């Protein structure tokens, strides 16, 4: 039987063999999450995703309905939502005190892989809700936590993120939404926001909006931005819902993908009665919003991976079943499954290599989160928290770039059928395109990598990240089988170190614009090297397993790890070396060409 959404064998491999997640249970914090419990959690998540959430994918693509300020979600979402909430899946790694399950972040990512692969548009409501709750937990007052936190983490209420305005997209400092302080300490909020995922819907009785706004008289730009909690319905002292809070939906976007996710335009205070309460300190809104933003950016990488792994599994199943044309070297045997044709195999292996590396990177980020939580000293906590900061633009930017490529291969493998709506890969490709755009475009992620992460804390976290790669390469050099692959990875590693220093220095000098014109190619090269590291790490684990004479049914899996690594290293990294040469050359055509030269007006 075909594996829908994700390859469970590979999920278990990364969790238990590569990341050794059960070692976390040596700490009392996670003592109850032994291997049996972890496997049960993943199995239950897989079952819910396949049986209840995945059936909402196609009908949910018909979109949401807007009328008279009200947004109605696809009817099929209601049962899936109730089951998701009843299972307490929304706050898996969060404190039981506030409605969470307290499990390792790594395990929650494995569960979410299935949920997101089943229907990423449906899961957007949960992702934003969790992000809003996390921000209240981190910087909210005790009163705010008591009022909002448990209702958000349990999914009784939903949450959003209100940043973008028509005049202020990526340039958040240009926002025009204002906050006027009232005598009782609350604020009257006035303004309009656009592109708000889940900004209005009928799935929960209340929606809590974290809103960026400028208090009257505050400094211009990002320095004067504050953060406010603005509920759709005001909350009475006893926790019951009060009057409507003048947050009006004025429309929803009609998009190429994630149509089951209501992307709303909202007007706040159109009647002068929108009330918000300050979340955190005045004029610290951008800093505080990044608590949610960094979490959201890592979530976007997970979303990209979710649709990519689903596209791969659908494509693999189709390629095994679709009979067309004879095997090139056995024409007399007649038509065969298309998985026997070289170019289809190439595309499948390209998809597999990228999906495998995505899974390892996502789960490794989970391990980093768990290490931060379990850290017994500040040095360890900083080590893993800063490593997460370095990884974030790779997770958000590179994974989503590659996810779109993987989904495109999925359509190609299906051929003409893939271009039609009869099969799921068409929708997955459309859905995947947004991930390169929202929560900071991938161009912004690339600028963040070059402008901040490379030189953060005098470059120590970035160099520590590269040292992890080198450690794996050195270990693989001791293997007769993997040594040639390790040598190729090392060559790229050495060249990469040279080029990143050259580009970082240029970014601080007169050629700053030419340097940043190469920031996205640098992000791509960084991602290539990161994926090669993770696949080489996988191959090392597989080689050790093979030496232990595994069960016959596991032989092809472990051998496949080594073959996948070999494919990636021998094909992708050759292109990476060329890309590094182009980055180092820092051709100034991008900066030097005049605007008129782009084309006639």
> Among candidates 452, 449, 347, 354, which has minimal Cα distance to 397?
449
Q: What sign does the dihedral 108-109-113-115 (CA atoms) show?
A: positive
Q: In whole angstroms, what is the distance from residue 482 CA to residue 552 CA?
A: 22
H, E, C per residue of 245-312? CCEEEEEECCCCCCCCCCEEEEEECCCCCCEEEECCCCCCHHHHHHHHHHHHHHHHHHHHHHHHHHHH
CA geometry: angle at 120 spanning 32 and 415, to 5°?
125
Residue 436: other Cβ atoms inside 10 A: 19
- H or E element in which residue 574 lies: helix 552-585
Out of 439, 498, 584, 595, the active site residue is 439
Whether residue 347 contacts residue 409, with contact meaning beta carbons closer than 8 Å, is answered with yes
Give the number of other CB atoms < 10 A from CB of residue 407. 29
At 125, phi and psi to the nearest 5? -60, -40
Are 502 and 509 in contact by the 8 Å Cβ rule? The answer is no
Estimate the crossing angle of helix 35-48 against helix 105-118, to 10 degrees: 20
- Does 439 participate in catalysis according to the annotation? yes
Alpha carbon distance 447, 441 (integer Å): 10
Measured distance CA(230)–CA(274) in Å, rounded: 8
Tokens read off for 386: 């800063």
Q: What Rg do the C-alpha atoms of the chain give, in angstroms?
A: 25
Q: How far apart are CA 265 and CA 249, in angstroms?
A: 6
8 A C-beta contact, residue 351 and residue 342? no
In which residue are the tokens 């050259």 written? 502
> By the 8 A CB rule, do 402 and 308 touch?
yes
**Dist CA 357 CA 530 (whole Å):** 8
What totals of helices (H) and strands (E) does the chain contain, helices first? 20, 14
**In contact, 155 and 84? CB cutoff 8 Å:** yes
Q: Are 118 and 5 in contact (CB under 8 A)?
A: yes
Pairing of strands 207-215, 241-244: unpaired
Residues classed as catalytic: 439
């Amino acid at each position: 039987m075909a594996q829908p959404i994700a390859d469970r064998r590979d999920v278990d491999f990364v969790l238990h063999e590569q990341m050794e997640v059960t070692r976390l249970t040596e700490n009392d914090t996670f003592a109850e999450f032994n291997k049996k419990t972890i496997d049960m959690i993943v199995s239950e998540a897989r079952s819910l995703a396949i049986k209840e959430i995945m059936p909402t994918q196609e009908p949910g693509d018909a979109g949401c309905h807007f009328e008279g300020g009200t947004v109605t979600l696809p009817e099929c979402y209601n049962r899936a939502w109730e089951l998701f909430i009843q299972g307490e899946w929304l706050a898996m790694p969060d404190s039981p005190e506030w409605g969470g399950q307290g499990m390792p972040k790594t395990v929650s990512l494995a569960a979410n892989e299935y949920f997101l692969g089943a229907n990423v548009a449906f899961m957007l409501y949960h992702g934003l809700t969790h992000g809003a709750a996390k921000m209240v937990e981190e910087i909210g007052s005790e009163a705010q936590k008591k009022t909002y936190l448990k209702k958000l983490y349990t999914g009784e209420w939903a949450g959003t993120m209100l940043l973008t305005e028509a005049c202020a997209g990526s340039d958040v400092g240009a926002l025009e939404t204002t906050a006027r302080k009232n005598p009782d300490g609350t604020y009257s909020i006035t303004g309009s926001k656009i592109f708000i995922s889940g900004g209005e819907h009928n799935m929960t009785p209340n929606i809590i909006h974290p809103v960026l706004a400028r208090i009257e008289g505050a400094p211009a730009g990002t320095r004067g931005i504050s953060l406010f909690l603005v509920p759709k319905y005001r909350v009475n002292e006893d926790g019951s819902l009060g009057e409507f809070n003048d947050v009006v939906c004025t429309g929803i976007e009609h998009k190429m993908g994630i149509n089951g996710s209501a992307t709303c335009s909202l007007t706040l205070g159109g009647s002068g009665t929108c009330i918000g309460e300050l979340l955190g300190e005045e004029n610290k809104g951008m800093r505080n919003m990044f608590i949610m933003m960094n979490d959201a950016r890592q979530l976007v990488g997970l979303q990209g991976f979710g649709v990519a792994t689903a596209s791969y599994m659908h494509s693999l199943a189709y390629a095994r079943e679709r009979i067309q044309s004879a095997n090139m070297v056995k024409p007399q045997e007649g038509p065969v499954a298309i998985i026997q044709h070289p170019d289809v195999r190439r595309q499948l292996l390209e998809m597999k290599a990228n999906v495998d590396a995505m899974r390892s990177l996502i789960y490794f980020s989970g391990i980093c989160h768990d290490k931060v939580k379990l850290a017994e000293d500040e040095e360890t906590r900083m080590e893993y928290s800063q490593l997460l900061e370095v990884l974030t633009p790779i997770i958000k930017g590179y994974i989503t770039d590659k996810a779109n490529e993987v989904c495109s291969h999925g359509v190609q493998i299906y051929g003409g059928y893939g271009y039609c709506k009869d099969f799921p890969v068409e929708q997955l490709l459309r859905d995947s395109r947004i991930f390169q755009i929202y929560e900071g475009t991938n161009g912004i992620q690339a600028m963040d990598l070059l402008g901040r992460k490379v030189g953060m804390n005098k470059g120590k976290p970035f160099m520590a990240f590269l040292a992890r790669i080198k450690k794996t390469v050195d270990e693989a050099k001791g293997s007769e089988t993997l040594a040639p692959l390790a040598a190729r990875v090392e060559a790229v590693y050495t060249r990469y170190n040279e080029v990143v220093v050259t580009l970082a220095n240029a970014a601080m000098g007169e050629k700053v614009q030419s340097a940043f014109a190469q920031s996205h190619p640098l992000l791509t090269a960084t991602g290539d090297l990161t994926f090669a590291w993770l696949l080489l790490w996988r191959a090392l684990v597989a080689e050790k397993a093979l030496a232990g004479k595994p069960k016959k049914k596991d032989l092809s899996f472990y051998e496949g790890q080594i073959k996948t690594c070999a494919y990636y290293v021998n094909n992708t990294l050759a292109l990476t070396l060329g890309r590094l040469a182009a980055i180092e050359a820092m051709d100034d055509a991008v900066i030097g060409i005049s605007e008129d030269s782009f084309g006639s007006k």
